Amino acid sequence: MQNGSIVCSVSLEEVSGTGSIIKKTQHKNVTLTLGRDEFKELQLFLDLPKKVMHMCIREVVVHKKFMKDGKATIRLPDQRLQLLISNCPPDKLAVFLKTLQTKLEVLREKGFVSQRQRMLSEEPRAFTEISPLTIKDLQLAQTANRGRNEANTLSTTLSSGGVKRKFVPSEGQENLPAESAANKTTISKKQKVCNNISPSKIIVQPVKLNKEQMSVLEAVLRGRNIFFTGSAGTGKSFLLKRIIGALPPHHTYITASTGVAACHIGGTTLHAFAGIGSGKGDLTQCVELASRQQVAQHWRRCHHLIIDEISMVDGDYFEKLEAVARNVRKSDQPFGGIQLIVSGDFLQLPPVAKGSNKARFCFQTSAWHKCIQTTLELKEVHRQSDSHFIKVLQSVRLGLCPSYVTETLMKTSRNKVECNGLLATQLCTHKEDVESINQHKLKGLEGASRTFAATDSEMVYKQSLDKLCPASSTIELKCGAQVLLCKNLDVQRGLVNGARGIVTGFEPGVEGLPIVKFACGLHETIKLARWTFRMGGGLMVTRKQIPLKLAWAISIHKSQGMTLDCVEISLSKVFECGQAYVALSRAKSLEGLRVVGFTGDCVRANTDVLRFYTKLQLIQNSVEPREVKAKHENTVKFW
């Protein structure tokens, strides 16, 4: 499938001159192709079961507010048609629409063939799929647009009929790969109408998957049930976001073991998706719960299930889910035929223990070995760039504490970690410590406080929202409070999830929104943000709240998955394998890290996990070429 084609659902609407809908037909799983006719003009080709439609494109209005959800509308006013696209992989949709808009802009600049020329032509009808978008196309569209703005200015003063511009193409014609067009370019929200496209506003972001990550993406697109692992900061969650963009939204469910981790990838918890409560009931009870109409509907619709931070998923629960999936979907295939895309690092935090019993890891279940066909490992660390620090972290991950690890980490206790006047975030092993540090620091500040209460769309889901949503139901703030942004507000400007700042004041008026000075230098009024979650029954539930959290301290469990600029860690009360590693690996650099209470005892790795990972390593060492069939027909691949 090229950049000029998408597979999606289309609702085709014929509209009257006044805009009302005359006829509407729905088509699932159809191919929409962008191409050129015999005159090199743009055509949309819709391959329907009973007929094929060719739509000439000269005028187009594109609505892409919900592109992230795989939805967009293409209006063809001159043909009184509109196509409501849904269930399209968001990245593919982005490339498709961008190609359409840019190619049309270029064509408009060259000029269309007249109706007379068309009628007199003896060319046979033709349709060829559009060539990929090139840098040259983007430049042409940019120049055309700039020229049009100039022409508009001229025509108002000189009343000239039209101004023809010359374009001098740059050297070479570089193809933009699908991936880059989809993910490297973002277009200003206001660019909805093709006529108004302004490529000068296109921001090129250098976010490219590396070779390891590409291999994972390819395996996913080949339909493999995959587990990909790798140490902290190797870009597992980053890659998941790209995988999500490449899969059809209707059939893809995004989950993680915890609410915070789920929020990083725009999903929900695995528990909320599964709808079987804690999963402690017997199989019959769990199947009954999952067979409730709305829950079962999701189980049946799910073709691809994404699970991040798998290390914290209880093995018994995973095994139960596998059986439930087969039952509800009435399929004997592993996990009822759902493609599993599982990510995480078992050397980070384990599942929460049940009383005195240690919980099993997922890989210790038969369901795991039945389902997972491919295991891949990401090795390149992106979060840290200092090779010595990376080496220290790798040792801690494996539960090793040679003298250079102790020396390096002990030395950080002398660091005065502060960024732009902000104190370091304190990572604590225990929730109670977090709460008491934050409240103590807040009380210590002078001046009146303001409390912001969340508005939940369904009050009965308050408890679930408290677990899922990074913003709490109430937050008390004061001038001088140290806070952390818990939502991406403007990635380009650095207002990202995890960005830290200090409250410097409140807007006047009833709402009294907080004003925050961020470590990156920005000074912003923080408006209410909205989070929407899909509950087990399929109900969409929303919380509106100020996207801030007190950030003098956070728990290590909540920090799993985060990247932090400056962090202070107290390791004297470590109680879990992987806990010290999770905490330490949040830091981007040794300079931004201060460790107190460090002893060799803090460094602990689970022996079962080590054995599991060692088995994979042994395979790596003994096998050439680098892909092998392992036990249970699983493919294990290393780089």
Annotated binding-site residue numbers for ATP: 230-237
Identity of the residue, 105 or 308, whose beta carbon is nearer to ligand ATP in the bound complex:
308
What's the start-to-end Cα distance of the chain, in Å? 28
Distance CA 39, CA 37 (A): 5
Stretch of residues binding Mg ion (CB under 5 A), selected from 104-112, 136-144, 220-228, 229-237: 229-237
Among ligand ATP, Mg ion, none, residue 319 binds (CB under 5-8 Å by kind): none
CB of 342 to ligand ATP, least distance (A): 13
CB within 8 Å of 14: residues ≥ 6 apart? 21, 22, 23, 24, 80, 81
| CA-derived radius of gyration, the chain | 27
CB of 348 to ligand ATP, least distance (A): 6
Site residues (CB under 5 A) for Mg ion, limited to 275-314: none
Secondary structure of residue 65 in the 3-state scheme = coil
Distance CA 469, CA 532 (A): 9
Distance CA 278, CA 423 (A): 39
90, 233, 334, 514: residue in contact with ligand ATP (rule CB under 6 A): 233
Among ligand ATP, Mg ion, none, residue 232 binds (CB under 5-8 Å by kind): ligand ATP
Q: Is 209 in the site for ligand ATP (CB under 6 A)?
A: yes
Relative to beta strand 203-204, strand 304-308 is unpaired
Distance of CA 547 to the CA centre of its chain: 18
Among Mg ion, ligand ATP, none, residue 71 binds (CB under 5-8 Å by kind): none
CB of 55 to ligand ATP, least distance (A): 38
Least Cα distance to 228 among 206, 245, 243 occurs for: 243
Distance CA 9, CA 299 (A): 20
Q: Are 347 and 604 in contact (CB under 8 A)?
A: no
CB of 165 to Mg ion, least distance (A): 48
CB of 417 to Mg ion, least distance (A): 23
Residue of this chain nearest to Mg ion (CB atom): 237
Q: Are 420 and 501 in contact (CB under 8 A)?
A: no
Relative to beta strand 523-525, strand 514-518 is antiparallel
CB of 260 to Mg ion, least distance (A): 10
Give the alpha-carbon dihedral of 217, 222, 224, 227, to 10 degrees: -10
Binding residues: 230-237
Contact letters (x/-) for ligand ATP, 316-355, by CB under 6 A? -----------------------------x----------
DSSP code of residue 392: H
Residue ranges in 265-340 assigned as alpha helix (H): 270-274, 283-290, 293-301, 315-328
CB of 562 to Mg ion, least distance (A): 9
Q: Which tokens belong to 82? A: 């509109």
82, 225, 563, 634: residue in contact with ligand ATP (rule CB under 6 A): 563
Q: Is 561 in the site for ligand ATP (CB under 6 A)?
A: yes
Among ligand ATP, Mg ion, none, residue 408 binds (CB under 5-8 Å by kind): none
CB of 7 to ligand ATP, least distance (A): 27
Q: Is 382 in the site for ligand ATP (CB under 6 A)?
A: yes
Q: Are 632 and 608 in contact (CB under 8 A)?
A: no
Distance CA 544, CA 457 (A): 8
Site residues (CB under 6 A) for ligand ATP, limited to 213-232: 213, 230, 232
CB of 130 to ligand ATP, least distance (A): 28
**Which residues in 511-528 are b (16+ Cβ under 10 Å) and which e?**
eebbbbbbbeeeebebee
Contact letters (x/-) for ligand ATP, 583-622, by CB under 6 A? --x-------------------------------------
Among Mg ion, ligand ATP, none, residue 382 binds (CB under 5-8 Å by kind): ligand ATP
Identity of the residue, 96 or 346, whose beta carbon is nearer to Mg ion in the bound complex:
346
Q: Are 222 and 341 in contact (CB under 8 A)?
A: no
237, 268, 482, 559: residue in contact with Mg ion (rule CB under 5 A): 237
CB within 8 Å of 514: residues ≥ 6 apart? 450, 452, 477, 483, 503, 505, 506, 507, 525, 526, 546, 548
561, 564, 606, 636: residue in contact with Mg ion (rule CB under 5 A): 561
Among ligand ATP, Mg ion, none, residue 345 binds (CB under 5-8 Å by kind): ligand ATP
235, 248, 350, 470: residue in contact with ligand ATP (rule CB under 6 A): 235
Q: Are 38 and 15 in contact (CB under 8 A)?
A: no
Chain residues that interact with Mg ion, rule: CB under 5 A: 236-237, 561
Which positions lie near ligand ATP, rule CB under 6 A?
Answer: 208-210, 213, 230, 232-238, 345, 382-383, 561, 563, 585
